[in-house]
Structure 1
Amino acid sequence: MFRNYLKIAWRNIAKNKVHTFINVAGLSVGMAVAMLIGLWIWDELSFDKYHQNYDHVAQVMTTQTANGETGTFGSTVVPLSAELRTKYAGDFKLTALTWEGTHILAVGDKKISQNGMWAESDLPAILSLKMIKGGYASFKDPSSIVLSQSVAIALFGSADPINKVVRIDNKTDMKVAGVYQDLPYNTTFYPTKFMLPWSSPANWWNTQSSAWDNHGCHLFALMNEHADFAKVSAKIRNITKPHFKMNDEVMQIHPMAKWYLYSDFKNGKAVGGRIELVWLFGIIGTFVLLLACINFMNLSTARSEKRAKEVGIRKAIGSIRAQLVKQFLSESLMFAFLALVVTLVLVLVALPYFNNIADKQIAMPFINPWFWAAALSFTFFTGIIAGSYPAFYLSAFEPIKVLKGTFRVGRFASLPRKVLVVVQFTVSIVLIIGTIIVFRQIQFARNRPVGYTREGLITVDMNTPEIYGHYETMRNDLIQTGAVADMAESNSSTTQVWSNNGGFGWAGKAPGFDPTFGTIAVTYDYGKTVGWKIIEGRDFSRSFPTDTGAFILNESAVKLSGLKNPIGKTMHWAGKNHIVTGVVKDMVMESPYKPTVATVFHMNPGWVNVITLRVNPKVPMREALGKIEPVFKKYNPGSPFQFKFNDDEYARKFSDEQRIGNLATVFAVLAIFISCLGLFGLASFVAEQRIKEIGVRKVLGASVANLWRLLSTEFVVLVVISLLIAIPVAYYFMNGWLHQYQYRSPITWWIFALSGTGAIAITLITVSFQAIKAALMNPVKSLRSE
């Protein structure tokens, strides 16, 4: 019996090629979207699960209230690690401090720049690194280094690296004690390519072992198996209070299982993060697949009159309804499994592009039996869902009416199809509106005045000791090349604020008020190099020797301090008095979606670790870099010339929103494509169903335009109804999404007008082909039987 079902299903599929193409194309695209999103969600949910101790690893987080705002971050203090190990050993099995950065690794003449970290000796064990050579214990040596496999190959090729010497930043020699397997892309520590011993004299953080007020390193822990994370957080909440009483500091532990998906904190509690994206794209994938299923339902029920006689004959010769249901579900399942073959091809072709858009390294898990179990179950479920309504609808026809020719589908038979079309276009329009709003928000933040000139700025990290102490001569040499307009040094690039401090005082400051300011150390020519805008007072100048202790405040710092006419006022900080010589326009150095950080710029060449260059705009960039590199090699021979364009660094601040927008665009286009496929099929059915009516109208004088309008109006009305539903839904969700940003674009009326006009235009284009084709048909053919 089942074989007979399949044979009849195949005949129907082969006979109606256009119908088959539309159904298979729609289902396969919908299933491909769902499969890609499923792979993406699996990758998101499996983040960090590479680590064997996944369920027992945690990071110690700090919550502080500064300038009236409560924030939670991963930076903590050095003495906390020993405090947890000794006083809370029952809860903390292992702890490890880390401090991440970029370093120069050299073996002979071979030099590479890689991201690594200083780490306490238990970190490899906490992360359960898979050691290829050496073991965890070997990292306890203060002169040791452990390398990832890729870095070991880059430095030593196929030779055994154990006990070989690597020179770090051209000043410290380390002995290779171990090589570990490269971490996968979907892990927090993927960027870490090597580990240096925390106990090394070369690690500056070793000097901070009793500094409870210097937050900058990170602290990770392996908890005991039965430790309750919430109870341990409560225990250590006030652990730093006896040592550090500023900013109402409290501590908590954040499980590795929540690092990636629950990274957003509010009032000291994890409230969400990427988990919201997982839900969002999961819902989108479900709806896109639903659109494809709706197409199948619509086209199957639309062809009901053509299948009516088949149903009538089958019932007349003894078929029961259950057999007919099985027949139609068999057809649906055959469509679904045909679509699965096409889906796998589509996903294989699309996956590299999808990975690029989503910033992933997902591979098709063909050898994983769970993948095939999920794919086949998913396809079976899709086939049943897509075929359920047609199966129960068609199998209910009465054989007597059908065979006597008195069967009519009824005046309300098309209502379910219309409802489904409305659902399709509602989803599609919501996606279109959402995509426009996401990109408008990105553009709005991009166009925000940044307070300096980004174009032509280059940043170079000062990694090796040779580059320090040559500021004036190096600057002169660079300017003499003609490729550099100016140069300066600082302790933060223009796209970050790396240092924040309290403890500032000034005349008239309210008792108990201790605000936190971003503190950026600069050299004389910083303002000219970055192109900041002085709005009061003057820039730092060599003409004023006292400027070595001067401050320049940004607008936000003036507002936070409450200083009236700040120029010439004295601020006390770090045991010294500093004269405010200037006020600059706020520079957007951190998130472009948030208010500018209140920042103090101070002259302190001893703090600097970043060089910023302004390339001469009259010199092509490639030519300029060719002239700049020899100067850096002259003053910094121990390091390869590596630089960052400030424009690119600033653009990375939009990467998450850009990724959401790009993915939403792809899904919106595919949703529209699926909806249009279904609309095209329905339009062809309607034109065929009304062919005699069209013939009569033509004989009576109706023009092609009149007939086109007649056939198109029904579909346009459905799209208008979709608009009326989609607009408030989209507004509600996108308005909520925008409110996570303090600096956000408004939702304007033209977004909805443009989306509506586009949806109607797409509908007319899709329907017009069939409508005009039917309107141009010779009425003699359609009326021949009358």
Structure 2
Amino acid sequence: MFRNYLTIAFRNLNKHRFFSAINIVGLAIGVAACLIITLFILQELSYDRHFANADRIYRLDAEIKFNGNHHRLAVMPAPTAAAMQSDFPEVEASMHFRQSPWKRVKRTTENFKEQFTGYASNGIFKVFSIPLLKGNTANALTEPRTLVISKSMADKYFPNEEALGQTLIVDNQDLYKITGIFQDLPTNTHFKLDFILSMEGLEESKANNWLSNNFNTYVLLREGNTEEALEAKFPKFVNTYVGPQIKEFLGADVTMEKFSANGDKLEYSLTPLLDIHLHSDLTAEMAANSDITYVYLFGAIALFILAIACINFMNLSTARSANRAKEVGVRKALGSLRAHLVRQFLMESIMLSVVSFVIALMLAYVALPGFNILAERNLSIPFSEPVFIATFVVMSLFVGVLAGLYPSLFLSAFRPVNVLKGKLSLGMKSGAVRSSLVVFQFMISIFLVVGTITVQKQLSFIQNTKIGFKKDQVVILHNTELLSSHDVLKNELLKYPGITNVSASGYIPISGWGRSNTSFWPEGNQPSQDNMVSMEYWHVDHDYVPTLGMQIKVGRNFSKDFLSDSTAIILNEEAVKRFGFKNPIGEKLSTFAVSNGTIQQDKVDMYTVVGVVENFHFESLKQNITPLCLQLGKSGWSVPIRFSSADTKAVLAHIEKSWKAVAPGQPFEYTFLDDAFGKMYSSEQQLGQIFAVFAGLAIIIACLGLFALTAFTAEQRTKEIGIRKVLGASVGSIVLLLSKEFGKLIIFAFLLAAPLSYLAVGRWLENYQYKTEIGIAVYILAGVSAFAVAWLTMGFQSIKAARGNPVSALRSE
């Protein structure tokens, strides 16, 4: 019997090759898209799960509100890790990182700029259970000037040699001994490190400063303890350690209760390790994280696309039902049971599904490299995993049964008497289910189109909005912090007539570059909660403002003609507003002195305001502009270069020549400022591109379904069309007749999709403090686009039916 089912199924599919191909292609595209998205989601959900005891690891975070500034930080004070373990029996182990990427590393003479470098305490091996291939986790990072490196880096610097015990030179001056080699961390880890330097050699980590937050701190809780119970003890912890320094900082009469009563806040909290990648977006993350919203969004898209493909499967099957109605009637008249017919049609459905899944696997294999480039992932299809193969086979059978169940029950329910008398009528009036499916398909398609347009409009807004500095035609030269004199390099660069300005500052107005924050108060006052303003505090040179194309609104820029500018500062407009200055020029501000990154609370520095710079965005447009001041000082770990020449290659050639003249043997690396600006929004760009791809797929698959329904209707109304033509109906009137019913459905789909899209768009744009306006035109454009594509699909089938010979339709009457 099974062999008979299989033979008939094959013959029927072969007889209707065109419809079978559409069925297979539609389902294959849907399954391939769903498979790729599923691989993406599974990787996103797998972050950090490879660590032993991952469910007991937590990161400490800080939330600070002070004088109108609000900071949510993924970093803590240096002493926090040690205090957590000594004060709380719930803590089994603790450790902290100090981010320090892009160090220069060499074995002998050739320097390499390594991105994934940082400091860590030896507790990293207890908290994160990183096993060493060589070395001892008990003491690998307990001594200064020691480090552990990944296996790939050991192979890079010591090919065919034993790396353990060898030395590397870091930043051209510090000699580090290799005390351990670890297996490269998986890509699904929320931090990436190839060189882990001992924290013991970092003086900053030994300071008892509870007001400076620079260390990513993690704890491993003992079994049976909860984060809620530990967090409940944090207020007392803050009061014990941070309270005295806040009192010293703000005045003897300040208590933590008074600090909070004034509307300010300093709170510590825990974030589970497994939540960091998808649920955390704080300042000073170890790496850029993703967002659980995107996981939900792409998961919904995968389900929608698969649902649309299955819907098309059912519609295409029922569209061919009239051609098989007599077959069903004859079979039933000859004694065939309904169950036999159900199995027959299910066999055809399963065959199509299996073939579609095989093709989908090939499509996914071919498309995955492109998706990896688009989404910056390294996904692969796990062909070698039995679980994947078994799941894939089961899913192909399940989808075949699910997608074929309705058509098989529908076809097998025909009454043989009515069928053989030609009384079968399956017009749109009895097609409420099919109409609902069309509405659902195009509702999702319109939603995805609106999403695509919204993301593109926001990206365009970001690129074209006034950001307060000129990002075009600026090259940022890296690796400049160890130059003996930046002036020599400047002079060499300025010999080229196409280069107009050169600065030396690591404080670039792009997220991820140098940042420093401290508090100021008006001279002549004692520092207090009421008069202190927390500001970004950047060290720049005389040429910084013109090189970055910033605008001085009031006063002047720094000048070499004024020796007093060593104690001068330039405020941004937001800082002037926060201090309440009506005429800021000449105003004097005080702040605690800073030495080696540590606040000196017993020493105060005083500065005079000489200028006000126009507000400029120095972080993503997701954040508000906060108070900022510029002060003359050294921070030359990068050199911004503004050029006017249209010959960019010649400019770069001169920069490289100048660099090699003043820094022989050092790597020549640069970034265009506009490229760095664009990378702040790489996730949005990826989202927009992925949206566009899947919106296109959804529309294509939906149009296949519409093609099926149009064919279904045309097939059932062949005689009606013939009579209308005999009575003088034109091709245009018939096309309109066949299309208007589906047009109504698409309009209804638009009416449902528009409010859903509006809510989703509003929710997404809430992430941005500065955002584009999404007017009604966007929704109309999405609806018109979907309607136009759908009408072209319907028009093809309608014109074909309308141009048919009426004799062929009526000769049996």
CA distances 1:175-233 after superposition (whole Å, capped 9, x unpaired): 2222211122221122x211111112xx3424x52111221122122332333122122
Instruction: Give 3-state SS (helix, strand or coil) of 2:743's partner.
Output: helix
Contact 1:615 1:624 in 2 (8 A): no
Residue 434, structure 1, aligned to residue 451, structure 2: yes
Partner of 2:168 in structure 1?
Answer: 166
Please name the residue that 1:205 is paired with: 204
TM-score, scaled to structure 1: 0.94
How far apart are residue 367 of structure 1 and its match?
Answer: 0.9
Aligned to 2:40: 40
The 1-side partners of 2:294 and 2:110 are apart by 43
**Is residue 667 of structure 1 aligned with residue 694 of structure 2?**
yes
TM-aligned CA distance change 1:511 to 1:434, over 3 Å? closer
| In 2: Cα distance, 1:510 partner to 1:77 partner | 22
Q: Is the 8 A contact 1:239 1:251 kept in 2?
A: no
Distance 1:563 1:507 in 2: 15
Matches of 2:429 and 2:737, distance apart in 1: 19
Shift of 1:506: 4.5
8 Å CA contact retained: 1:355, 1:362: yes
- TM-superposed CA distance for 1:36, in Å, is 0.9
Q: Name the residue aligned to 1:520.
A: 538
CA deviations on 1:568-602 (whole Å, 9 max, x unpaired) are 11111121221111111111110123221211111
Q: Distance in 2 between matches of 1:698 and 1:648?
A: 63
Residue 366 of structure 1 is aligned with which of 377, 383, 386?
A: 383
Which of 618, 623, 635 is the aligned partner of 1:594? 623
C-alpha separation between the residues in 1 aligned to 2:608 and 2:372?
Answer: 53
- Counterpart for residue 604 of structure 1: 633
Amino acid aligned to 1:36: I
Indicate which of 583, 586, 589 corresponds to 1:568. 586
- Aligned pairs for 1:295-334 (under 5 A) are 295-334=312-351
1:425 Cα offset (Å): 0.8
Structure 1 residue 92, shift from structure 2 partner: 3.3
C-alpha displacement of 1:70: 4.2
How far 1:435 moved relative to its partner?
Answer: 1.1
Out of 656-665 and 384-393, give the one that drifted further: 384-393
Flag the 1:280–1:619 CA change in 2: closer, same or farther, 3 A.
closer
Secondary structure at 2:230 match in 1: helix
User: 1:259-338 maps to which residues of 2 (within 5 A)?
Assistant: 259-264=276-281, 274-338=291-355
* 2:706 alignment partner, one of 676, 679, 685: 679
- Partner of 1:252: helix, strand, or coil? strand
Amino acid at match of 2:98: T
For residue 502 of structure 1, give the secondary structure of its aligned residue in structure 2: strand
Given the alignment of the two structures, is residue 475 of structure 1 paired with residue 490 of structure 2, yes or no? Answer: yes
Distance 1:730 1:176 in 2: 55
**Residue deviations 1:70-104 (CA, integer Å, cap 9, x gap):** 44211211111221122224423232343332100
Amino acid at match of 1:533: Q
- Say whether the 8 Å CA contact 1:117–1:196 is kept in structure 2: yes
1:104 and 2:131 equivalent? no
Alignment partner of 1:729 out of 747, 756, 764: 756
**1:551, 1:581 within 8 Å by CA — same for their partners in 2?**
yes
For the 8 Å contact 2:488–2:662, the answer to whether it is kept is no
Report what 1:228 is aligned to: 226
Alignment correspondent of 2:240: 242
Q: Structure 2: how far apart are the matches of 1:410 and 1:765?
A: 22
Query: 2:679 maps to which residue?
Result: 652
- State the AA in 2 paired with 1:767: M
* Cα pair 2:81 2:94 within 8 Å, conserved: no
Shift in CA distance, 390/64, structure 1 to aligned 2, threshold 3 Å = same
The 8 Å contact of residues 499 and 645 in structure 2, kept in 1 or not, is answered as: no
8 A Cα contact 2:522 2:531, kept in partner: no
CA contact (8 A) 2:503 2:544 kept: yes
Cα distance in 2 between the residues matched to 1:457 and 1:224: 52
Deviation of 1:281 (Å): 0.9
Structure-2-length-normalised TM-score:
0.91
Match of 1:495 among 500, 510, 513: 510
**What corresponds to 2:548 in structure 1?**
530
Change over 3 Å in CA distance of 1:716–1:409 after alignment to 2: closer
Q: Hey, what does 2:88 align to over in structure 1?
A: 88
Q: Please tell me whether residue 689 in structure 1 is matched to residue 687 in structure 2.
A: no
CA contact (8 A) 2:149 2:181 kept: yes
Q: Secondary structure at the match of 2:798?
A: helix
| Residue type at the aligned position of 1:164 | Q
8 Å CA contact 2:94–2:217 kept in 1: the answer is no
User: What is the deviation of 1:110?
Assistant: 2.4
Q: What do the CA deviations read for 1:697-729 (whole angstroms, capped 9, x no partner)?
A: 333333332232222222222211211111112
Q: Distance in 1 between matches of 2:583 and 2:710?
A: 72
The amino acid across from 1:180 in the alignment is F
Post-superposition offset of 1:282 = 0.8
Q: Could you say which residue in structure 2 is the equivalent of 1:135?
A: 136
Structure 1 unmatched runs, 5+: 267-271
1:418 to 415, 435, 439: 435
Matched, 1:716 2:743: yes
Identity of aligned residues (%): 35
- Residue 427 of structure 2 contacts residue 716 of structure 2 at CA under 8 Å; is this kept in 1? no
Cα distance between partner residues in 2 of 1:774 and 1:700:
16
Structure 1: how far apart are the matches of 2:231 and 2:489?
50
Kindly provide the CA deviation profile for residues 669-693 of structure 1, in whole angstroms up to 9, marking residues without a partner as x: 0000001111222223333333333
Q: 1:337 to 1:69 in 2, by over 3 A?
A: farther
**1:292 offset after TM fit, Å?**
0.7
Amino acid at match of 2:761: M
Alpha carbons 2:521, 2:531 under 8 Å: kept: no
In structure 2, C-alpha distance between the alignment counterparts of 1:385 and 1:68, rounded to whole Å: 57
* Equivalent residue letter for 2:447: V
Give, as a single letter, the amino acid of the residue that structure 1 aligns with 2:722.
Answer: G
Take 1:591 and 1:411, find their aligned partners in 2: how far apart are those partners? 52
Aligned to 1:269: none
Structure 2: tracts of 5 or more residues without a match: 247-263, 284-288, 593-603
CA distance in 1, matches of 2:50, 2:744: 53
| Distance in 2 between residues matched to 1:90 and 1:703, nearest whole Å | 84
Taking the aligned partners of 2:145 and 2:756, their CA distance within structure 1 comes to: 61
Q: 1:244/1:5 Cα in 2 relative to 1: closer, same or farther (>3 Å)?
A: same
Moved more, 630-639 or 390-399: 630-639
Q: Structure 2 vs 1, CA of residues 511 and 155 (structure 1 numbering), >3 Å: closer, same or farther?
A: closer
Matched residue of 2:130: which SS? coil
User: Could you list the per-position Cα deviations for residues 342-363 of structure 1 after superposition, in whole angstroms to 9, with x for gaps in the alignment?
Assistant: 1000100010111111221111
The 1:668–1:280 alpha-carbon spacing in structure 2 relative to 1, beyond 3 Å, is same
The answer to whether the 8 Å contact 2:551/2:614 transfers is: yes
Alignment of 1:372-451 (within 5 A): 372-409=389-426, 412-451=429-468
- Alpha-carbon distance change, 78 to 29 in structure 1, aligned in 2, over 3 angstroms: same
Q: Tell me if the contact between 2:621 and 2:768 (Cα under 8 Å) persists in the aligned partners.
A: no
Partner residue in 2 for 1:350 = 367
Equivalents in 2 of 1:407, 1:780: separation in Å? 21
Greater alpha carbon shift after TM alignment, 591-600 vs 406-415: 406-415
Q: In 2, distance between residues paired with 1:513 and 1:385?
A: 68
Cα deviation, residue 284, structure 1? 1.1
Provide the rounded CA distance (Å) in 2 between the counterparts of 1:713 and 1:451. Answer: 52
CA contact (8 A) 2:65 2:71 kept: yes
* Letter of the 2:473 counterpart: G
Cα deviation, residue 512, structure 1: 2.8
The one-letter code matched in structure 2 to 1:224 is R
**Rounded Cα–Cα distance in structure 2 between residues aligned with 1:464 and 1:763:** 60
Across the two proteins, how many residue pairs are aligned to each other?
773
Deviation readout 1:130-162 (Å, 9 max, x if unpaired): 423223233323232211122222222222212
Q: 1:282 to 1:511 in 2, by over 3 A?
A: closer
